[in-house]
Amino acid sequence: MERIQSINIARIAWCCTDRGITPEDLAREVGISPASVEKIMSGDLGLTFNQLKQIAEFCGRGVLFFLEAGPVNEEQVHTPQFRTLANQKPELSAKVKALIERVERQRAVFLNLRDELDNGELARFDPPVLGGFTLNEAAEVVRRWLGLPDRNDFDNYRRALEARGLLVFRSNGYQGPWQIAKESPILGFSLYDAQCPVIVIKKQAAETQQSFTLMHELGHLLLHKTSSIDDDNDLHSHDGYEQDANKFAGYLLVPDSFLLSIRDEGRPNEVTELDDWMAPQRKAWGVSGEVILRRLMDAGRLNRAVYAAYRAWRQQLPTLNADDGGSRAFRNREPKHIFGEVYVKTVLDALSMRHITLAKASSYLDNLTIKDLHKLEQYYAVV
């Protein structure tokens, strides 16, 4: 089999370093023997085209990237948004870095399809001006901008953001390219773009956690106009931008007017009973008990010691695991859960109008089989 000898080996080495892996790890990932990879890296053996294609796909690069001469220009390879996140969390895993780049490619796909369809029906991102407002006032402005009703859940919050020109992706629970691993501390990230920002949320057992992360990331986009990547420490931070985003999310999810429905005189003394006491509000607003208590504390209606005791009690409870994806009996609907309805419908509209092929549509929708792609079309035809 003919082998390509003009491979830029330094670029393969750079990709390994960028992904935080060794050439031996790369060999295992792409199914090439370690001995062959060792010879390839020493320049003693070329690559077949299929081998080069496998390496390119794993590294998220085009084949030509490894045939170009010269060193890698990182400013051309990585976007400013990617570099912002990588600088915030230098310890990011290779899989999270790959996910960030994958999200950027999906956004590019969406924008290209949106421009081709050009039917004026897809919302454009046109955020409110928040300069000069306090965080509480800014949250109220954004709540009106989103058109949020009094009763909400994660799906409703997500649809509200999508209706304003943002994309909201949620990682899936099973092993695959769109998963944020369970052991990863990352809970979400946002990629700022004046045309179409993207928020990515880690799938969690409690959707209320997802809702807070969603609004925290929205705070970074609207208040700071910057990309951000966040873990649990950031979502409890009392410093700088993270504190701003946390307070903004709390005000947005639980406005002052909502707090009026909570009667302090009925609050139980035992922290173990607080969740039941807040159950009607937690269900109606789609938020956790911790968010409500934090808002009460900030409003001067709850002692900090009670809030701290509640958090300590919650932290010692058994951790619930996010759904691992189940039987995947409804594989055809998974793109909707991952990418959201706006993205999925845009791809299907482009397919219907023959702007893209079935194969392209499949690749844009988590590599659905053609059979599942047709099922997805049928699902939206009757929804």
- pLDDT per residue as tens digits for the range 239-268: 999 999 999 999 999 999 999 999 999 999
Distance of alpha carbon 312 from alpha carbon 142, whole angstroms? 32
**pLDDT above 70 for 165:** yes
**pLDDT above 70 for 190:** yes
Write the Ramachandran bin of 369: left for phi over 0, alpha for psi from -120 to 50, otherwise beta.
Answer: beta
- For the chain, give the percent of residues with pLDDT over 90: 80
CB atoms within 10 A of CB 88: 15
Distance of alpha carbon 383 from alpha carbon 381, whole angstroms? 6
Closest CA to 20 of 88, 86, 102: 86
What ranges do the domains of the chain cover? Answer: 9-77, 121-315, 331-382
Structure-token pair, residue 183: 């052991």
Q: How far is CA 181 from CA 71, 100, 140, 185, in A?
A: 32, 14, 34, 9
Distance of alpha carbon 94 from alpha carbon 17, whole angstroms? 9
Going by pLDDT thresholds of 50, 70 and 90, the confidence category of residue 1 is low
**pLDDT above 90 for 215:** yes
Q: Report pLDDT for 93.
A: 87
Three-class SS of residue 190? strand
DSSP readout, 19-76? HT--HHHHHHHHT--HHHHHHHHTTSS-B-HHHHHHHHHHHT--GGGGTS-S---HHH
Sign of the dihedral through C-alpha 80, 83, 88, 93: positive
Going by pLDDT thresholds of 50, 70 and 90, the confidence category of residue 322 is low
Q: Report pLDDT for 174.
A: 74
* Cβ atoms of 178 and 105 closer than 8 Å: no
Going by pLDDT thresholds of 50, 70 and 90, the confidence category of residue 306 is very high
Find how far residue 233's CA is from the centre of its chain.
Answer: 17
Q: Please state the rounded mean pLDDT for residues 302-306.
A: 96
* Cβ atoms of 188 and 201 closer than 8 Å: yes
Q: Report pLDDT for 340.
A: 96
Sign of the dihedral through C-alpha 57, 76, 342, 157: positive
Average pLDDT, the chain: 92
Q: Report pLDDT for 318.
A: 85
pLDDT digit string (tens) for 38-58?
999 999 999 999 999 999 988
Q: Report pLDDT for 323.
A: 56
**pLDDT above 70 for 328:** no
Q: Please state the rounded mean pLDDT for residues 160-181.
A: 92
pTM exceeds cut of 0.85: yes
Q: Please state the rounded mean pLDDT for residues 328-350.
A: 91
* Cβ atoms of 182 and 322 closer than 8 Å: yes
**pLDDT above 80 for 119:** no
Q: Report pLDDT for 75.
A: 82
Amino acid (1-letter code) at residue 219: G
Q: Report pLDDT for 327.
A: 46
Going by pLDDT thresholds of 50, 70 and 90, the confidence category of residue 321 is low
Amino acid (1-letter code) at residue 102: R
Q: Report pLDDT for 325.
A: 46
Q: Report pLDDT for 329.
A: 62
Going by pLDDT thresholds of 50, 70 and 90, the confidence category of residue 121 is confident
Q: Report pLDDT for 326.
A: 43
Going by pLDDT thresholds of 50, 70 and 90, the confidence category of residue 145 is very high
CATH class assigned to 9-77: mainly alpha
**pLDDT above 90 for 343:** yes
Which segments of the chain does DSSP mark as H helices, in order?
9-19, 23-30, 34-41, 49-59, 74-77, 80-88, 94-117, 135-146, 154-162, 207-219, 240-253, 256-259, 274-277, 279-285, 289-298, 304-315, 334-339, 341-352, 358-364, 370-382
Mode of pairing for the β-strands spanning 186-191 and 198-201: antiparallel
